[in-house]
């Protein structure tokens, strides 16, 4: 689905809420759909402030994000850092997330075996599955290497003190 079609869909959604696609909402919408990374509301607000054009308030950013989530144009991701992250989902395949607890890096992945297992688990419990969100927390490869290097330095220093 292209961005102009998504924008028309957003305009129709806003009308159901007796709202209009204002210039500020349009700028926020365009910026959100111009990125393919996960972002926080504060990050988006920073992007909006750095761009030329009419000012967009922090409150407008938060309210517009809320509307985009309510209309299912965006999904939220709680990466365990105290603030929600957002990503646009229209036109994207469902995916799950690996979250590094050290550096905050987020990797997206899909695995049909996991999807099948989740559907089967819901079925066994009598659930009609509507949606799901799978987040796996651990350390990315770079942080794992860094931890291993630190552990090695500590081990060597400890053996010198003991020896």
Instruction: Report pLDDT for 80.
Output: 81
Give the pLDDT confidence score for residue 1 in this predicted structure: 62
Rounded to whole angstroms, the Cα distance separating 91 from 73 reads 10
Of 43, 75, 92, the last residue of a domain is 92
CATH number of the domain that residue 58 is part of = 1.10.10.10
Q: For each successive 10 residues of the chain (163 residues), what is the average pLDDT? A: 85 95 93 91 95 88 96 89 87 85 90 93 93 90 93 85 69
Q: Quick one: 134 and 152 in the same domain? A: yes
Sheet harboring 74-78: ordered strands across?
39-40, 84-88, 74-78
Is the domain of 29 the same as that of 63?
yes
Show which of 40, 72, 92 is a domain's final residue. Answer: 92
Strands 96-100 and 135-138: parallel
Indicate if 55 and 103 belong to the same structural domain.
no
**Dihedral (C-alpha) 82, 86, 92, 98: value to the nearest 10 degrees?**
-20
Measured CA angle at 60 (ends 104, 65), to 5 deg: 45
Both structure tokens of 102: 């050290």
> What's the pLDDT at 116?
93
CA dist 15 and 12 (Å) reads: 5
Query: How many helices (H) and strands (E) in the chain?
Result: 6, 6
Note the pLDDT of residue 65.
97
Residue span of the structural domain in which 51 resides: 1-92
**Residues 58 and 70 placed together within one structural domain of the fold:** yes
CA pair distance 42, 48, nearest whole angstrom? 10
* pLDDT score of 157: 85
């Amino acid at each position: 689905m292209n961005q102009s079609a998504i924008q028309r869909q957003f305009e129709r959604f806003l009308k159901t809420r007796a709202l209009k696609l204002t210039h500020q909402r349009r700028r926020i919408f365009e910026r959100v759909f111009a990125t393919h990374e996960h972002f926080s509301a504060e990050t988006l607000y920073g992007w909006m402030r750095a761009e030329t054009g009419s000012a967009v308030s922090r409150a407008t950013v938060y309210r517009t994000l809320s509307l985009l989530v309510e209309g299912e144009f965006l999904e939220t991701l709680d990466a365990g850092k105290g603030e929600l992250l957002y990503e646009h989902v229209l036109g994207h395949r469902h995916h799950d997330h690996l979250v590094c607890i050290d550096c905050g890096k987020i990797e997206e992945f899909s695995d049909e075996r996991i999807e099948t297992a989740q559907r089967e688990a819901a079925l066994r419990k009598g659930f009609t599955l509507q949606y799901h969100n799978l987040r796996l927390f651990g350390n990315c490869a770079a942080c794992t290497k860094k931890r291993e290097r630190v552990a090695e330095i500590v081990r060597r220093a400890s053996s010198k003190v003991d020896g």
